[in-house]
């Protein structure tokens, strides 16, 4: 008799316990080094069998928020996470969506100039030295040498002092690397010339940041991203973006120096699934074939499969005709992973607000351009956004839900999967903050004000008044920030 349903139930139970453990870590203030208790104590606290608890601990370890230490004085110890699992989870999901080059470059144009502007406001001596070291590394590069270790855009985002921007730009640069590796260059001279032009643009941005000129830093960053866009579009090879899985395996291993073998293996398999076209329902390989292909132990492969199942990339089906079945990933696993990491980084209200504002304003601009399309016209119908006048507690709660649905709906209509996902991550961070801090619920006056703001934004979008739609959106975001964030 197959035990697959029992296994699936245990996996779901383990995932729920993992989320409870992680929530407890957040509530404790993320006290790195503190023990949450021994294995037996955790079994009792969470009401779990040893096998289910150990599966939950594996997920917690995958998120790098805690590690189980065996032996005397052992237990589940809270640890300091890094961005690796969070960014890889998002990249895996975006690979499935088939994020376009246009989406990627649009997202960079929205977020990177903001990071440059903030860097100019927050730069200090250490930051100047860091950016100049990156420039020196770029200037010393020659064809045949390894690429510079430090990424300029990652280093610049660090100087913004905004952990949300840093993580989002990390994701964007990982995706950009994939396109850059698949791009064609006509000759070594062309590649050298492009690298020197890029280094020169970086130097100009660093000079503006060092001088504290945020407006110039933002303008230069916009110009640089536009030039990168033009180069990638010109040299993009649409047949190469998903090829060369062996090379990608080596790169992913290098990206996860702290990762366990199973974590790296899971990332490699996910990347190969993407390279093969993400054929949902197909058998990617039997367990025997995968052991031969990746040359790992059975234990490492099975742990990697658990992680793939958690992210809904694939699931192992036992028995005749079984194997690793490619599945349809859902956004929530990626959202949960990255939101958890950002909870550790503890972004301020202003960190969240400025990133959210940049994304939302860009969304409105795109929706204005699409206002004649049937899907957008249906969304703009004011009857869809008029609330019931009963003023009950349930109506107030529903109005809060509608507020989020309104903004996420605009993001989906804007059509950029990257920015849509980023906004949903910010929404999830707010939801977690709201649920753990016991903030005051909206009043009916808040509900009326939100409805009025939505209708005025929709009116401006429907009339094609781009500037007025931006103005009303910005005013609404400012007014709602006190309770939204």
Query: What is the longest distance spanned by two Cα atoms in the chain?
Result: 71
Tell me what pLDDT residue 377 has.
94
Question: In this structure, are 47 and 122 located in the same domain?
Answer: no
> How many alpha carbons lie under 13 Å from residue 444 in its C-beta half-sphere?
9
d(CA 446, CA 98): 39
Tell me what pLDDT residue 42 has.
95
Tell me what pLDDT residue 2 has.
38
Question: In this structure, are 353 and 460 located in the same domain?
Answer: yes
Distances, alpha carbon 399 to alpha carbons 134, 395, 424, in Å: 48, 6, 18
Query: Does residue 152 belong to any structural domain of this protein?
Result: yes
Tell me what pLDDT residue 171 has.
92
Question: In this structure, are 361 and 451 located in the same domain?
Answer: yes
> From the CA atom positions of the chain, what is the Rg in Å?
24
Question: Pick from 425, 480, 436, 435: which is nearest to 163 by CA?
Answer: 425
- Per the structure block, which two tokens stand in for 15? 């995932």
CATH number at residue 410: 1.20.120
Tell me what pLDDT residue 392 has.
63
Give the end of a domain, one of 202, 235, 268: 235
Query: Does residue 265 belong to any structural domain of this protein?
Result: yes
CATH number at residue 317: 1.10.10.10
Residues 6+ apart with CB under 8 A from 467: none
**Buried b / exposed e across 198-229, counting CB within 10 Å, b at 16+?**
bbebbbbbbebbbeeebebbbbbbeebbeebb
Distances, alpha carbon 304 to alpha carbons 26, 82, 318, 325, in Å: 26, 19, 16, 14
Query: Does residue 402 belong to any structural domain of this protein?
Result: yes
CATH number at residue 119: 1.20.120.530
Tell me what pLDDT residue 273 has.
92
**Reported pTM:** 0.85
Tell me what pLDDT residue 483 has.
60
- Per the structure block, which two tokens stand in for 274? 């993407």
Query: Does residue 148 belong to any structural domain of this protein?
Result: yes
- Per the structure block, which two tokens stand in for 361? 């304003």
Question: Are the CB atoms for 43 and 27 separated by under 8 Å?
Answer: no
Domain count, the chain: 4
Question: In this structure, are 190 and 308 located in the same domain?
Answer: no
Task: Please list the residues that pair with 77 across neighbouring strands.
Answer: 35, 67
Question: In this structure, are 367 and 457 located in the same domain?
Answer: yes
Query: Does residue 6 belong to any structural domain of this protein?
Result: no
Give the end of a domain, one of 331, 359, 389: 331
Question: In this structure, are 115 and 217 located in the same domain?
Answer: yes
Question: In this structure, are 18 and 138 located in the same domain?
Answer: no
Question: In this structure, are 219 and 284 located in the same domain?
Answer: no
Question: Pick from 303, 469, 483, 290: which is nearest to 399 by CA?
Answer: 483
Distances, alpha carbon 270 to alpha carbons 15, 328, 357, in Å: 20, 12, 33
Question: In this structure, are 446 and 472 located in the same domain?
Answer: yes
Give the end of a domain, one of 176, 205, 235: 235
Query: Does residue 268 belong to any structural domain of this protein?
Result: yes
d(CA 121, CA 472): 27
Query: Does residue 289 belong to any structural domain of this protein?
Result: yes
Q: Residue 25's domain spans which residues?
A: 13-80
Question: In this structure, are 227 and 101 located in the same domain?
Answer: yes
Tell me what pLDDT residue 3 has.
39
Question: In this structure, are 228 and 255 located in the same domain?
Answer: no
Tell me what pLDDT residue 255 has.
41
* pLDDT tens, N- to C-terminus, the chain (485 residues): 333 444 554 567 888 899 899 989 988 889 999 999 999 999 999 999 999 999 899 889 888 899 999 877 789 999 998 787 788 888 888 888 888 888 999 999 999 999 999 999 999 999 999 999 999 988 887 766 665 555 899 999 999 999 999 999 999 998 888 777 666 655 556 666 777 788 899 999 999 999 999 999 999 999 999 998 888 888 766 655 444 433 333 333 434 433 478 888 988 898 899 888 899 999 999 999 999 999 999 999 998 898 888 888 999 998 887 899 999 988 888 888 899 999 999 898 889 999 999 999 999 999 999 999 999 999 999 988 876 556 566 666 677 778 888 999 999 999 999 999 999 999 888 877 766 655 556 677 777 888 889 999 999 999 999 999 999 999 998 887 766 54
Query: Does residue 342 belong to any structural domain of this protein?
Result: no
Question: In this structure, are 113 and 207 located in the same domain?
Answer: yes
């Amino acid at each position: 008799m197959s035990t697959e349903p029992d296994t699936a139930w245990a996996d779901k139970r383990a995932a729920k316990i993992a989320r409870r453990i992680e929530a407890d870590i957040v509530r404790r203030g993320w006290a790195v080094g503190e023990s949450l208790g021994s294995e037996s104590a955790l079994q009792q606290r969470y009401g779990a069998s040893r096998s289910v608890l150990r599966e939950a601990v594996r997920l917690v370890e995958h998120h790098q928020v805690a590690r189980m230490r065996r032996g005397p004085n052992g237990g589940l110890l809270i640890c300091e996470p890094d961005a690796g699992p969070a960014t890889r989870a998002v990249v895996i999901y975006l690979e499935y969506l088939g994020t376009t080059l246009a989406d990627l470059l649009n997202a960079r144009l929205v977020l990177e100039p903001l990071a440059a502007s903030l860097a100019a406001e927050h730069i200090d001596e250490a930051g100047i030295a860091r950016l100049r070291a990156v420039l020196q590394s770029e200037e010393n590069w020659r064809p045949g040498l390894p690429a510079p270790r430090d990424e300029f855009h990652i280093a610049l985002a660090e100087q913004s002092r905004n952990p949300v921007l840093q993580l989002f730009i990390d994701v964007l640069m990982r995706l950009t690397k994939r396109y850059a590796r698949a791009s064609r260059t006509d000759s070594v001279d062309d590649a050298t010339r492009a690298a020197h032009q890029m280094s020169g643009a970086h130097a100009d941005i660093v000079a503006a940041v060092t001088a504290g000129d945020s407006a110039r830093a933002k303008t230069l960053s916009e110009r640089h991203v536009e030039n990168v866009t033009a180069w990638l579009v010109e040299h993009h090879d649409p047949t190469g973006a998903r090829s060369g899985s062996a090379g990608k395996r080596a790169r992913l291993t290098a990206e996860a120096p702290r990762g366990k073998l199973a974590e790296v293996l899971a990332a490699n398999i996910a990347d190969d699934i993407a390279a093969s076209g993400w054929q949902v329902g197909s058998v990617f390989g039997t367990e025997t074939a995968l052991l031969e292909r990746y040359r790992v132990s059975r234990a490492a492969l099975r742990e990697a499969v658990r992680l793939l199942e958690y992210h809904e990339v694939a699931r192992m089906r036992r028995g005749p005709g079984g194997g690793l079945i490619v599945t349809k990933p859902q956004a929530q696993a990626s959202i949960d992973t990255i939101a958890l990491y950002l909870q550790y980084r503890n972004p301020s209200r202003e960190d969240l607000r400025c990133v959210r504002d940049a994304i939302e304003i860009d969304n409105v601009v795109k929706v204005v351009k699409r206002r004649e399309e049937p899907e957008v016209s249906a969304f703009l119908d004011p009857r869809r956004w008029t609330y019931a006048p009963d003023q009950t507690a349930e109506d107030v709660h529903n109005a809060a839900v509608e507020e989020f649905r309104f903004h996420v709906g605009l993001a989906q209509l804007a059509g950029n999967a990257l920015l849509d996902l980023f906004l949903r991550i910010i929404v999830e961070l707010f939801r977690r903050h709201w649920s753990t801090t016991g903030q005051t619920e909206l009043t009916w006056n808040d509900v009326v004000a939100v409805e009025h703001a939505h209708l005025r934004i929709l009116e401006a979008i429907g009339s094609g008044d781009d500037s007025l739609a931006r103005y009303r959106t910005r005013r609404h975001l400012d007014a709602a920030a006190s309770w939204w964030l």
